[in-house]
Amino acid sequence: MTSQERLSVLAGREEIAKTVTRLASEINRDYQGKRPLLVGALKGVFVFMADLVRQLDLPGEIEFIRISSYGAGRESTGKVKVVQNMETPAEGRDILVVEDIVDTGLTVSFLLDYLSQKNPASLKLCALLDKPSRRRVQVNIDYLGFTVPDKFIVGYGLDCNEEFRCLPDICYLGD
Ligand code: 5GP
């Protein structure tokens, strides 16, 4: 059972806050004079997105898209599809995809391909977490919070079978 596994803190709330502030200042600098469309990949991104957008000093818009990747387990199925689409047209927009974690890279590379076919003015990626040890496709992360080891991460929006999303720290399960 997941709830009986050991839970260790990888990044505490103060470190997270500092990192979100750094990312927001990089985004504020790069998108000055623009009106980006921030596209959050649900569900795990909701906490990060809420913290990030409150530090942006831009007239941006927010959208969400839901991509299925892992199903209910911990291993990527490799099968990715849009299960809930965004309403705002992507054409001609400066799109910043906001992801919780890039693991194999399959989900976000599918999402970036999908959005690039809609002819945005620009397309960049902001990821809170990068787990490069398990990468299966190359992904360029323009704004990165933390690089994490090959552990199963929970907390700060990330779940394990819907558990642990509301933990304020970024943690991992197991030893
Ligand atoms: P990828 O397609 O890059 O393997 O996986 C991306 C998605 O899988 C993430 O958006 C997230 O939903 C899920 N995922 C990958 N690694 C982890 C992890 O360590 N913890 C949790 N909770 N989800 C993960």
Q: Give the tokens for residue 90.
A: 């992507």
Q: Is residue 58 part of a domain?
A: yes
CA–CA distance, 163 with 160 (Å, rounded to integer): 5
Q: How far is CA 111 from CA 37, 55, 82, 94, 105, in A?
A: 14, 25, 8, 15, 10
Query: 68: CA distance to ligand 1 center in Å?
Result: 10
DSSP, collapsed to helix, strand or coil, labels residue 123 as strand
* % pLDDT > 70, the chain: 92
CATH number reported for the structural domain that contains residue 163 in this entry? 3.40.50.2020
Residue 103 appears among annotated catalytic residues? yes
Residue the block writes with tokens 């929006």:
157
Q: Quick one: average pLDDT of 84-104?
A: 96
CA angle, corner 149, sides to 11 and 132, nearest 5? 120
Residue 142: alpha-carbon gap to chain centroid: 12
The reported pTM is 0.94
Report if residue 114 sits inside a domain.
yes
pLDDT digits (tens, 9 = 90+) for 36-82: 999 999 999 999 999 999 999 999 899 999 988 655 556 666 678 89
Asked if 111 and 67 touch (Cβ cutoff 8 Å), the reply is yes
Q: Domain range holding 52?
A: 7-173
The single residue of 103, 130, 142, 169 carrying the catalytic annotation is 103
- Ligand 1 closest atom vs CA 172: 19
How many structural domains comprise the chain?
1
Pocket residue to mutate for ligand 1, from 103, 150, 163, 173, most atoms within 8 A of Cβ: 103
Instruction: Tell how far the Cα of 55 is from the centroid of ligand 1, in angstroms.
Output: 25
Query: pLDDT per residue over 105-133, tens digit each?
Result: 999 999 999 999 999 999 999 999 999 99
Checking if the pLDDT of 1 tops 70, the result is no
Q: Which is nearest to 48 in space by CA: 158, 173, 160, 163?
A: 158
Instruction: Name the token pair of 146.
Output: 């933390």
Q: Write out the two tokens for 82.
A: 């849009």
Atom of ligand 1 nearest to the CA of 102: 3
- Whether residue 1 lies inside any domain: the answer is no
* Interacting residues of 20 by C-beta distance below 8 A, sequence separation 6+: 48, 51, 52, 55, 145
Give domain status of residue 2, yes or no.
no
